[in-house]
């Protein structure tokens, strides 16, 4: 199970934010935030709450006490190039069963390439 400081780094990298940006967002210094990510300093709970809103994840996930992160739960939010998750799910539902199976196999293949 990942520790909170590892999750902080992972989420920041995933969203392509710099430490300076996150530090400013939290109202702290870049050095202090860096120490959170390195596990040198424990991140205050109010910062966890603020970051959970920024990254749209649960505080439980950030504290490693929840199921794995599954992404945003806002299906109408833009997900990729003007397309929402709702649109993607709708399009998948329109496929016949064989095409859905092929799509699922392709997604598993893509995930195995990481």
| pLDDT, tens digit, 9 for 90 and up, residues 12-37 | 999 999 999 999 999 999 999 999 99
pTM of the model: 0.58
User: Cα(38)–Cα(3) distance, rounded to whole angstroms?
Assistant: 10
pLDDT of residue 52: 92
How would you label 85-110 residue by residue, b for 16+ Cβ within 10 Å and e otherwise?
beeeeeeeeeeeeeeeeeeeeeeeee
pLDDT of residue 12: 94
> What averages of pLDDT result for each successive group of 10 residues across the chain (114 residues)?
91 95 97 96 95 90 70 68 84 92 92 81
Name which of 53, 50, 52 is nearest 61 in CA terms: 52
Query: Is the four-CA dihedral 82, 114, 35, 56 of positive or negative sign?
Result: positive
């Amino acid at each position: 199970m990942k520790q909170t400081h590892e999750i902080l780094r992972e989420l920041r990298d995933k969203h392509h934010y710099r430490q300076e940006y996150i530090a400013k967002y939290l109202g702290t210094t870049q050095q202090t935030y860096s120490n959170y990510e390195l596990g040198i300093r424990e991140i205050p709970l109010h910062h966890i709450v603020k970051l959970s809103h920024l990254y749209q994840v649960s505080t439980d996930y950030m504290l490693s006490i929840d199921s794995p992160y599954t992404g945003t739960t806002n299906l109408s939010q833009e997900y990729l190039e003007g397309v929402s998750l709702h649109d993607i799910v709708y399009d998948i539902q329109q496929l016949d069963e064989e095409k859905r199976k092929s799509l699922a196999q392709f997604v598993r293949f893509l995930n195995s390439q990481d």
